[in-house]
Amino acid sequence: MTDIAAPAPRAASADQLPPAAPVTRKYDRSLVEGPIGPAVWKLAWPTMLTNIIGGLQGIIDHIMVGHLVGFTGNAAIGVSYQIFIMVIVFISSLFTGMSVLVSRFAGAGDEAKVNRTVYQAFLTAIGMSLFVMAPVGLFFASPLLDMVNAAPEVKVQALPFLRIMFTFSTGLLLFFMLSGALRSAGDARTPMILGVTMTVLNIAFNVVLIRGLGPIPAFGTAGAAMGTVTATSIIAIYSLYKLWKGGWVVQFPRGHGWGPDWTIIKSLFRFGLPTGIQGIAMNIGGVLMLSFIGSLAQSAVAQAVFTVSYSELFSLITWTSMGLMGAASAMSGQNLGAGHPDRAIKAVHIAAKVGAMTAASIGLIFFFFPRQLLAIFGMHDPAVIEIGTQLLRVLSVSGLFISVALTYTGALQGTGDTRSPLYISIVSQVIIPLGICFTIRHVSTLEPIHIWVAILIGHATRCLLSVWRFNQGKWRGIRVDIAPANG
């Protein structure tokens, strides 16, 4: 792995900061000064809570679809999200690049550069939604479902869901963009409020659209997608109003023109593109893993179990860890911008400990109460219970590794080292687990437990490599900057 350095001539440093008083009024200086633990927790808990509530919304969708449509509906949502996330992670990689820039500039107290970066990320998100996401949904949804070996009955349910999610993705992309910008600038509470509101709206719309109400017919799995895009669109419209009016820690800039600034957009992708490729690689690995699951003797049962256990229940660990990942990223970037790299190291270690403890607590529930968890989703078939219990117990251990891995991934990305997580993910989440499944299938009979253990080994490898790479400390020399505004 090679060190990464943007070609900017100089890094923001402590002696370049504006006077202390204006910086304090605009940005939260407790992130770069004072006790570290409370600063990490201030960034982490709102995101953790938002993600948990968002994960519960997905669980509610699955419960409703499972009871009203059946496990084929659960499988349809699962394979659809696997495909949707594979594309949207790449498209939203520019938000990682944006977060690198925003956190550095906020740590250095440069308000103008923060706002210019956010506006250019907004323009890029709109362009990607209209000219990439929508065409993919309209013309490639069916071939993508064929690629994951979706059973015919699953594809019938998945196709309208996938087309709706892709075509009307603008609101979701803008929510991701704004959440990343606010969090990187030190405000994690506003994204929490927006996220919780969006989740409540989503649940309300889905209750009506999935099962029907009065003159509104039941749309089934398509109703889940309709509820999501409606809720995200409402939040996006409100957010644009606030960015224009001002009052948040980030806003649209004034007096610099409204057209695209290709220098900034290039910087977004310089830092963000490796994260996008990482997301594509990981999700291609996930799609190929679904293909292995689809080749099992009980493919439909295994896909449904994987969807509920891994995509939904395991998200209680991963989405919680994503909150710590965001905190580690913001703390690393801001403290580098303020000239305090040692403080960044301490913050990451604290975040990793919190993640491991949280994952252990949730893992105990997975290990001792798998049948009860599966029953919530209407899964009572003996074959489903057997396979689902195996997976949940493996995930109870796997969660410890992935939680720590995500925290250190966020730390590396926050410093601007977005290439190392890419290489680590390709090795640990693609080559190793898929290689295990491929080998077993060619020398013996591939069983569900083999796939579950392959996932565990991949997560453990990612954890070890991420910790090792961060502790090398080569990220200290990464430089981040953009050119001054014209006029």
Report CA-CA distances (Å) from 377 to 69, 73, 240, 356.
12, 11, 37, 27
Each residue's pLDDT tens digit, 271-286 = 998 988 887 788 778 7
H runs (alpha helix) in 108-188: 111-128, 134-147, 152-167, 170-184
Containing 202, the helix (H) or strand (E) segment is helix 189-211
CA distance 358 to 321: 8
Identify the band that residue 486 occupies on the pLDDT scale cut at 50, 70 and 90.
Answer: low
Task: Please tell me the predicted confidence (pLDDT) of residue 50.
Answer: 80
Q: Encode pLDDT of 329-374 as tens digits.
A: 999 999 999 899 999 999 999 999 999 999 999 999 999 999 999 8
Distances (CA, A) of 3 to 342, 403, 419: 19, 25, 8
Which one is predicted more confidently, 186 or 3? 186
Q: Tokens 């990320």, residue?
A: 121
pLDDT tens track for 166-179: 999 999 999 989 99
Q: Kindly report the CA angle at 387 between 367 and 147, in degrees rounded to 5? A: 120
Place of tokens 């506003």: 190
pTM of the shown model: 0.79
- Three-state secondary structure call for residue 216: strand
Give the Å distances, CA to CA, from 340 to 15, 330, 346, 467: 12, 13, 11, 20
Candidates 35, 226, 19; CA nearest to 110 is: 19
Specify burial of residue 21 (Cβ count, 10 A radius: 0-12, 13-18, 19+): exposed
Whether pLDDT at 54 is above 80: no
Per-residue pLDDT band for 98 (boundaries 50, 70, 90) equals: very high
Q: Which pLDDT value is given to residue 102?
A: 94
Can you read off the two tokens belonging to residue 274? Answer: 């490796």
pLDDT at residue 335 in the model: 93
Task: Compute the distance between CA of residue 381 and CA of residue 401 in angstroms, rounded to an integer.
Answer: 31
Q: What is the mean pLDDT of the chain?
A: 85
How large is the C-alpha radius of gyration of the chain?
Answer: 22
Rounded percentage of the chain residues whose pLDDT exceeds 90: 45
Average pLDDT rounded to a whole number, residues 148-157: 78
Distance CA 93, CA 273 (A): 6
What are the residue boundaries of the structural domains of the chain, listed by start?
36-472
